[in-house]
Structure 1
């Protein structure tokens, strides 16, 4: 489960990510609270989220091209320093009492631009640290790291906001990037296997698009990631509606639903770390299971049954995410890995500004149950469609065979003593 941690460079990277991811989740909660305190508007909060994700939608592929052209470790030091500087500016403005909502929006947009470059560089840097053999394990451990921070970060932020205010939370997040930068600087460069930087030439973005278009296996992964990411992963929209409108519970119950979902995701990431390879059938099966489990959860009658249903949804969702990431990274040429992963993150995260409002509208018009049913149904249907297309493309015939139930046999394993011919 933890084989990648035998690699010293990856240990440094993972340790820095534990600190940085926790700080990032702390800032997310503090930033949302600050916007609500400044404006009292949910729309202003939505604008903040949209501005933070918009650069990934518009410039994600370009960020992948930058990752291909640069040494990943140096590029990550630059992007992490930029993110830390943006958090520090917001901390200073807040602590000085001069912060306005447009400051938050501008800094959120800047963070989005830094993320558009950092994300593909960080994703593709993992294989340079651990190699192809341990890549699926390292991707799963990265997901576990992220989910652990998702549990601890908001909880810590809630306590810190009440005790010392949002400004100091932003300052702590700015300091958390120092841990990542120090870890990157302390790595042994001779133990890395960096891809040779690609020279800047015209048409490199179109080259990546042509490469993916010519690969049916990659197109299948991108299609699944697009549908599931856009319509399925909208729990930030649906969980609040279930807690408030369906079960008429308070903020504590809403927080518990998020924690339970994160615990399921953490368990799924650790289980994924035990697997050595990611197969296409696992990817399709996880997407289908995620969709059907979401449909089942939407029909749960009570709060506790719904909360328990979130655990397997989290497991299936993270299994899908890690399998998709590893399948893409292991299936592309090293010279194109940054651009292809930039496109991957564009498809995965870029659908959020499109799917989130649609799921929110369905939840508002027809209720949270309908929204979760729709998202889960689209995810399951996409998995079935991709499976049928892959089967047709590869010439595989789909056949259902019913096997008999296994029989239970009790075998006496007591050693048989040889018969004594005299006694006989």
Structure 2
């Protein structure tokens, strides 16, 4: 279908505006399905990787190396990926990455079903997966603000988060069940899921408007750094989440808790991995109907503090029920921070820089997940898993208190529905 000539403010990838409701907006359902299928597959894969590497090695250091293997390509590739997202077809980038993820999962399935999987094969697959995600995420993060107008973004982001977390609920549980039939079955399901996400991404009606291509340079990186330095509320939100995730790396120790502390087995690991998402889904549903449009800054700080307290409770718990509840509260608190940070990053950034700013955001937060797993695993090898997780929760509380003083602009942030690019 031919499109109208782009206006001077045409985005790199945007949908032709139409006055429709959130639930009937063209392309939104395709975007939500693609993101959900990809997230579901990643969660199933995380269960398979964590349990398989621990079964092969019985080593917390091996779990730490899994996080490091995914962290390193993110550090090296996210900034080039953000630059590519600002100058190339974002949808095509996402499609290629999802194809790579599907093929790597299929190869792991063949290896597992053949019985010749080694720890080094798992590390290699995780590295490839991390590299693909490094390019996929900055481009995918730009889709939602291109699909819906700014006043609909907080509610649309909550819907997206609720479906993302629903996948995170079912993914670990299904992964735990499927692992009973073998890791190869888990990887096979992941390959199908990533392929489905690829097909759905192709169905999103986004229009690519080429821009003059400039090489990645130091000046381009400095431009993004100066842009973020001039917006302390955005910088504070991103860095607060970075340290909260980095220090509160309880999820890295879930295989150890399921196996050696709670004695819950693979099914228990699936339940523990699903617990944060259960809390997140409940919180996301609430945010769909009651968006965060007042006192957003104080609510974000309160949510991160709750995240730290829940981490400490999980660390010292010996009850499966208490552990699941603590992780659910942790997941609910995290959603509040995700929605506020997403609104600041996506709506306050001009489309010409959205890929690079999204890349910085993912570098801070996506890589901090893997680096947090590495930190928790190495610290656990020194002081034990309980001490490692508890110390992370205490550190999160200390960072929250420090950030309130360091970023008063974030503390005074009020409404999200009137944020505009500047």
Q: Tell me by how many angstroms 1:120 deviates.
A: 0.8
Cα distance change of structure 1 residues 325 and 187 upon mapping to structure 2, 3 Å threshold: closer
Partner of 1:385: 402
Q: CA offsets, 1:343-391, max 9 Å, x none? A: 1111112224443344345555555554344322322232222222333
Cα distance change of structure 1 residues 65 and 330 upon mapping to structure 2, 3 Å threshold: same
Mapping of 1:244-283 within 5 angstroms? 248-251=262-265, 253-277=268-292, 279-283=296-300
Q: Is the 8 A contact 1:62 1:205 kept in 2?
A: no
Distance (whole Å) between structure 2 residues aligned to residue 40 and residue 108 of structure 1 = 18
Corresponding residue to 1:221 among 225, 229, 237: 237
Q: Tell me by how many angstroms 1:197 deviates.
A: 4.0
SS in 2 for 1:199: coil
Structure 2: 5+ residue stretches without partners: 1-20, 413-422
Cα distance change of structure 1 residues 214 and 196 upon mapping to structure 2, 3 Å threshold: farther
TM-score by length of 2: 0.80
Mapping of 1:325-336 within 5 angstroms? 325-336=342-353
1:25 equivalent in alignment to 2:43? yes
Q: Tell me by how many angstroms 1:45 deviates.
A: 4.0
Distance (whole Å) between structure 2 residues aligned to residue 42 and residue 377 of structure 1 = 21
Cα distance change of structure 1 residues 332 and 281 upon mapping to structure 2, 3 Å threshold: farther
Q: Is the 8 A contact 2:86 2:356 kept in 1?
A: yes
Distance (whole Å) between structure 2 residues aligned to residue 388 and residue 29 of structure 1 = 39
Q: CA offsets, 1:238-273, max 9 Å, x none? A: 555656666x54335554443333211221222233
Corresponding residue to 1:154 among 172, 176, 190: 172
1:314 equivalent in alignment to 2:331? yes
1:340 equivalent in alignment to 2:357? yes
SS in 2 for 1:155: helix
TM-score by length of 1: 0.80
Q: Is the 8 A contact 2:171 2:274 kept in 1?
A: no
Q: Is the 8 A contact 1:243 1:253 kept in 2?
A: yes
Q: CA RMSD in A?
A: 3.1
SS in 1 for 2:180: helix
Partner of 1:212: 228
SS in 2 for 1:8: coil
1:91 equivalent in alignment to 2:105? no
Q: Is the 8 A contact 2:254 2:269 kept in 1?
A: yes
Q: Is the 8 A contact 2:68 2:374 kept in 1?
A: no
Distance (whole Å) between structure 2 residues aligned to residue 326 and residue 244 of structure 1 = 39
Structure 1: 5+ residue stretches without partners: 397-424
In the alignment of these two chains, the number of paired residues is 387
Partner of 2:420: none
Partner of 2:18: none
Q: Tell me by how many angstroms 1:229 deviates.
A: 1.6
Task: Choose 1 or 2 for highest CA Rg.
Answer: 1
Cα distance change of structure 1 residues 280 and 196 upon mapping to structure 2, 3 Å threshold: farther
Q: Is the 8 A contact 2:281 2:332 kept in 1?
A: yes
Partner of 2:388: 371
1:176 equivalent in alignment to 2:176? no
Partner of 2:415: none
Q: Is the 8 A contact 1:71 1:197 kept in 2?
A: no
Q: CA offsets, 1:56-114, max 9 Å, x none? A: 12222221111111122222112212222222232334444554433332222111111
Cα distance change of structure 1 residues 51 and 239 upon mapping to structure 2, 3 Å threshold: closer
SS in 2 for 1:106: helix
Q: Tell me by how many angstroms 1:155 deviates.
A: 2.5
Q: Is the 8 A contact 1:229 1:349 kept in 2?
A: no
Distance (whole Å) between structure 2 residues aligned to residue 300 and residue 182 of structure 1 = 43
